[in-house]
Structure 1
Amino acid sequence: MKVFSCIIVDDDEMDRLMVVAYTKRFTALDIVGVFDSAEKALFFLEKNTVDVAFLDIELENENGIELRKKALTIPCCIFITSHSELAAETFMIDTLDFIVKPYNFIRFEQAISRVLEYMELRHKAALFETSIGGDVVYLKVGNEQIKIKMHDILYLEALKNHTIVVTDKKRYCVFSFIGELLQDTFFESFVRIHRSFAVQKKFIEKINATEVQLHNNTKIPIGRSYKDNLNLIL
């Protein structure tokens, strides 16, 4: 069974512990972060890819809705809040479910069923699939499967819930998160150097403190949180 990573964000300790306890009952979910503020969650997300987010709305400083707007790369978002009047607003930002406090395990279980069903559908959609043998990947672009040679791909660029796959000749818009692509072994020749960019290692010509230059003179910024990734290949 595939395991999906998740984070929990709630500034109320008892509510946090309840979500943690409920979540641990599902072997398909792996809690990778528990936070009491949006700021801490966003700092974590700069370096990590997450499948599911359980978010409270009423947080200090920055609320859960603003957090979600900045973390749209997370495929599944479930709000758990006492503010039922904000349900409509949250569904404008790709919310899978909205749980109103107080709630019980049965209601939480219903939400998890939706999560697992949604993630299975994403998988079956075959956003991309590798060919049998050869240096080729099939990317789903619109309603078509486009064959691209892996050694032609220069870099990947994240664009909201899409990824731009860039070659010397063309750019392809793929409905898949950059983190999902990079998790596949077919993309193991790429290194992520920024929250929005991953480059194929063999095309790197120069590296300085702020950017990477590829063999075709394309310059791509280096994210502060990703410098260690480059140190591993130097």
Structure 2
Amino acid sequence: MTQPKSYRCIVVEDEVHHQELISFYLKKIGNVEVVGMFADTVNASIQIEKQKPDIVFLDINISGLEGPEFIDLLEYQPKIIMISAHSEEFMKQHYDIPYEAYVQKPISLDKLEDAIKGIE
């Protein structure tokens, strides 16, 4: 049996309890290492350019730049897993954001696992 691919990720989420929950679940999944957690897009963009993670878990409603502007600003383009309380249909209607997978809050282990499998 082959080992699942391992990923380095950065979490961009302004709610601390969601940061902690995502980190907790990713440790359980095992093949995703959290290399940074940020509550704003300014610090996140600096670290994304420095660390070049494979995945960014991005909450759409966050302090700093809105999601589309934030992604456009990045020179390095990691895979994006969107996180939002809004439905994916709402997101597609109101935001023009390229992303590989979508997780609707409330966040769960199963939802994160499915999102990661969706980018493999």
Secondary structure at the aligned position of 2:113 is classed as: helix
Question: What TM-score comes out, normalization by structure 2 length?
Answer: 0.82
Q: Secondary structure at the match of 2:56?
A: strand
Query: Over aligned residues, Cα RMSD in angstroms?
Result: 2.0
SS in 1 for 2:29: coil
CA displacement, residues 156-203 of structure 1 (integer Å, 9 cap, x when unaligned):
xxxxxxxxxxxxxxxxxxxxxxxxxxxxxxxxxxxxxxxxxxxxxxxx
Corresponding residue of 2:100: 96
2:57 matches 1:54:
yes
Alignment length, in residue pairs? 115
- Residue type at the aligned position of 1:24: K
Match of 2:67 in 1: 64
* Aligned match of 1:36: 39
Listed as ranges, the gaps of 5+ residues in structure 1 are 118-234
- Higher relative contact order by CA 8 Å / sep ≥ 6: 1 or 2? 2
Shift of 1:76: 1.4
Shift of residue 88 of structure 1? Answer: 4.5
The 8 Å contact of residues 9 and 33 in structure 2, kept in 1 or not, is answered as: yes
Aligned to 1:16: 19
More helix by share: 2
TM-aligned CA deviation for residue 89 of structure 1? 5.3
1:106 aligns with 2:100: no
Gaps of 5+ in 2: none
Alignment CA distance shift 1:106-1:100 (3 Å): same
Give the C-alpha shift of residue 110 in structure 1.
0.8
For 2:91, the equivalent position in structure 1 comes to 86
Question: Is the contact made by 2:83 and 2:104 (CA closer than 8 Å) also made in structure 1?
Answer: yes
Is residue 10–residue 48 contact of structure 2 (8 Å, CA) maintained in 1? no
Letter in 1 for 2:76: T
